[in-house]
Chain A
Amino acid sequence: MIGYILRRLVSAVLVVIATSMIVFLLFTLGPSDPAQRLCSADRCTEERRALIHQSLGLDKPVVEQYLTWAKGVFVGRDVSYGPGFSVDCPAPCLGISYINKEPVFPTLMERFPATISIALGGFMYLIVGVIIGVLAARRRGTSTDRGLVASTLIISAIPYYLVALLAYLYLVLKWGIFSETSYVPLTEDPIGWAGALALPWLVLTVYFCVTYARFSRGSMIESLSEDYVRTARAMGVSESKVVAKHALRAAVVPVITIFGIDFATLLAGTVFTEAIFGINGIGRTALASITQGDLPIISATVLIGSVFIVIANLLVDIIYSFLDPRVRLS
């Protein structure tokens, strides 16, 4: 068991390192010259630009640049963009913003609680989806079941941002059922926090739960036909316990695995959610950076996102090994 987790941990670290390399490479080989960005438009001479280029180390080999960058992640560094212009970027240093010349990481961390709060909706859609899936599996073939399957097909044919936009338009602007969304820190006002996020959570849950309802339905139908479920019935276990204990235990395993794989979808959903509902999280910051060409913010977001995906997968692997003793004990 410990060995299994250690192996997973090592591979997770390797994945993060590989991702950082790819992100770095895209960043350095990218079309725009960072020196151009940092060179204030009004006073920018070709000479000055070259100087900034040199101070940033952009004339050095890519490998060396990467190592400097990687070292900064662990111990911090000074990012200098020309003589007399230097920013102290403490560890973990993911570069400085081209726009406000501040270290990227603390900026993103400020936005972090909002993003995590929205992502909590992900667990709601997982739970709601599994519950609906189980109920549909028990009623398979009935009109309730067919209605569910049909609605999942319809909903998954509509893009998420459209659903979110329409929800915002109608539920907030037109009918005023929900107030304008914003982010209220949990520590300041828990009720305000939940109230402000109620609509994003609702939209995320409704939209994504149908996918999980469909997965869970299939998985549950399969496990309900397993021999060990028949054995449980043959021993006199009540039908509700057969479903909730014997069948569900086996059915959630593939669903959770898919949730781990699909974690990136939740992050993408969070980005759209932040943008549409005007919540200042990492996703909205990243979107804004794209229009401003603020590459360090974009690449740091990608890197942080990938770290989250890797952590999510690691957690899923660990949960999986707890659910399935065959993994844990082999």
Chain B
Amino acid sequence: MTTVDRTMPEPVVAPSSAQQEPFLVVEDLTVQFPTHDGLVQAVTDLSYAVELGETLGIVGESGSGKSVSSMAVLGLHDAKRSRLEGSIRVAGQEIIGASKSTLRRLRGNDVAMIFQDPLTALHPFFTVGNQIVEAYRLHNQVSKKAAWNRAIEMLDLVGIPEPQRRVNDYLHQFSGGMRQRAMIAMALVNNPKLLIADEPTTALDVTVQAQILDLVQTMQKEFGSAVIIITHDLGVIAELADDVLVMYAGRAVEHGPTKEVLTHPEMPYTWGLLGSVADVVSDTSKPLIPIPGTPPSLLNPPSGCPFHPRCTYQDHVEGSRCVSELPLLRPGPRGESHLKRCHIKDPETLYQEELKEEIMG
């Protein structure tokens, strides 16, 4: 147990003079879990920022540290079972090492999260309404009656038919799409300024998926909040995100404006991701080429570039630098805003002249 914080509660939102930086700033975030088998290096030196009204897409195969890094934003990692380094600031408020009461006031209020699988992420023994009411009353001093009205209003807003009746239903009485809508209703009940959606559509079929993504977008426009959308689907990124962050083995490997990254990718892992999904830019059909191999163990990350064991472009780098030297996340030839972590000298030419045809079909 950490000691009880007896000082005055810190303001959750810093005075506006300090408000120069983006709403969410993550700087050199490292998250590690000591386990029986060794130290799991789930996230290493991750940095990004999200402004209000903007959407950041985080993409990567499963196990690349997407969930772990975003849970750190809410301070959800148990201090006894994890090691966190770096800095996470929400509206200027430092999250790492923040007191319990600070975190509590922030969670669900300034920052809310939509979890991947609503069937397990909502409580099976309480009604959907009950859970939304609880979330609302945690941050608003209102009567139960008012909170129930708010819950009904939220269910209506996210497109659940007959919200008056459904508010008294339990989770198992909802369909998959409706569960996710209910989860969104709960996340949005306090008008959060930052919404983190962790694979919100993975368990859903394509039509429902599109509806849910539409909903997230509409909500964002309405409230002007910052959104982080986590996915392993580049199609979702192409549709929703202003910026995209590609993660591999706990690190950022490519980061920049979505259109720029998707049309001029500079890192072989991103090429692989693009090749393995249906065409995200122009909707034509093409053969899907899966990335060979599997993501590395985070107990024992590979030397050098974490992607090197699966990378088929190492002959474009002199010597064995891919194996021996970790490439830095640095701007490529296309400008300061487009960062990549790769030793290949001229990835742009390589991609445009040799690979684009094959990858984009």
Contacts and interface: CB of A to CB of B under 8 A. Distances in A.
Interface in B202-239: none
B125 A324 contact: yes
B173 A228 contact: no
B125 A231 contact: no
Interface in B79-119: 100, 103-109, 112-113, 115, 117
Contact of B123 (A228, A234, A323, A329): A228
A230 B123 contact: no
B76 A233 contact: yes
Nearest to B196: A234
B170 A329 contact: yes
A325 interface: yes
Contacts of A226: 120
Contacts of A33: none
Interface stretch (A83-91, A177-185, A236-244): A236-244
B100 A239 contact: yes
Contacts of B135: 235-236
Interface in A241-281: 246, 249-250
Which of B121, B125, B186: most chain A Cβ within 10 A? B125
A324 B123 CA distance: 11
Nearest to A323: B125
Interface in A152-172: none
A325 B186 CA distance: 20
A236 B108 contact: yes
Given A227-B121, A234-B112, A235-B186, A326 B172 contact: yes
Contacts of B124: 228, 250, 324-326
B170 A232 contact: no
A324 B126 CA distance: 9
A interface, over-half SS: helix
A271 B86 CA distance: 63
Given A230-B76, A325-B172, A236 B125 contact: no
B139 interface: yes
A232 B105 CA distance: 13
A235 B104 CA distance: 8
A237 B134 contact: yes
Contact of B107 (A228, A235, A326): A235
Given A236-B107, A250-B124, A325-B124, A230 B115 contact: yes
Interface string B120-157: 11111111000000110011000000000000000000
B339 interface: no
Contacts of B138: 235-237
Contact of B113 (A234, A323, A324): A234
B184 interface: no
Given A226-B120, A230-B121, A250-B124, A235 B112 contact: yes
Given A227-B115, A237-B138, A329-B170, A232 B100 contact: no
B167 interface: no
Contacts of A249: 123, 125-126
A228 B120 contact: yes
Interface in B150-189: 170, 172-173, 186
Contacts of B109: 236
A18 to B, nearest CB: 34
Interface of B: 74, 76, 100, 103-109, 112-113, 115, 117, 120-127, 134-135, 138-139, 170, 172-173, 186
Interface of A: 226-228, 230-239, 246, 249-250, 323-326, 329
| A-B complex: 8 closest residue pairs judged by Cβ atoms | A235-B108, A236-B107, A236-B108, A227-B120, A228-B123, A325-B170, A227-B121, A235-B135
23 contacts: A228-B120, A228-B123, A228-B124, A230-B76, A231-B121, A231-B122, A234-B107, A235-B135, A236-B108, A236-B109, A238-B100, A238-B104, A239-B100, A249-B123, A249-B125, A250-B124, A324-B125, A325-B124, A325-B127, A325-B170, A326-B124, A329-B172, A329-B173
Given A235-B138, A236-B109, 6 more contacts: A228-B122, A234-B74, A235-B107, A236-B138, A250-B123, A323-B125
